[in-house]
Each structure stands twice: as C-alpha cells, then as structure tokens.
Structure 1
C-alpha cells in the first residue's frame, strides 16, 4: 500500500489503520487517508488495495462513532 513497504504485513497494516478510540486522532487519520486516496492517479501501484483498505477504515470509523454524540450524520 501507499507508504507501506510490505503490504501483506499485518503489523504494519495495524500500525497504519488501527482505530485508537480517540475521536480527533481517528478522524484526522481517516481524513488523511481519504485525501491520499483521492490524490492517486489511475494506474498507481497498489491503488486498488489502498482504496479497498481505506473503505474498510471508513466503515470501522462509522461503526465506532455512529452511535456517539460526537459525530453528525
């Protein structure tokens, strides 16, 4: 994935995408990854894997914060 040396490494994936249950940090992390995803050109190596992983991260964020009063929507 983008910025990850070994895309199959579970530890590195955990370090990059893990939700810390801290609203501001998690929101910043998801937004940062979404901006990277939007800036990728077609044909970028590992783009599909990155976008799939960011989609999962967005779903994780929604599952964690949807029922809390911190998020709107």
Structure 2
C-alpha cells in the first residue's frame, strides 16, 4: 500500500475512535475528544484523501469548457436515439 493511503486510513481510524469514545465516555473531557476527532478528520484526513485521489488526474477533464459541453451534447443526442 502507498504511504499516503496508510497514513490517511490510520488518521481516519484515530479520529473515529476519538469521536466514538467522546460519545461513550461521559466525562469532563468528552467534548474535547469529539472536537479533536472532528478536527483531525477535517484538517488532516479529508485533504490527504483528496490529494491521494486527485494526484494523477487531469483537471481539464472535469471542467465545463466549450469542448466538454459539446461532447456532452453529442453523447446526449446519441443516447436518445
């Protein structure tokens, strides 16, 4: 497995454990556990996951340019008939 994928999975598991333990353990620090789990999820896991999934993609394939709109219209016409 790639190192970014392993780190992302590990951080996701850590954040899930923090969130669940914050809900299950009723102590004075339960809100801190939930907050730190959510912070790890949004500040570390989501950017790493996005980087891992998009690093080898061509961004022009996903943009709405005139050429891509024309291709979509042609494909729609072909699929209608």
Give the TM-score taking structure 1 as reference length: 0.48
Greater RCO (CA < 8 Å, at least 6 residues apart): 1
Give the TM-score taking structure 2 as reference length: 0.44
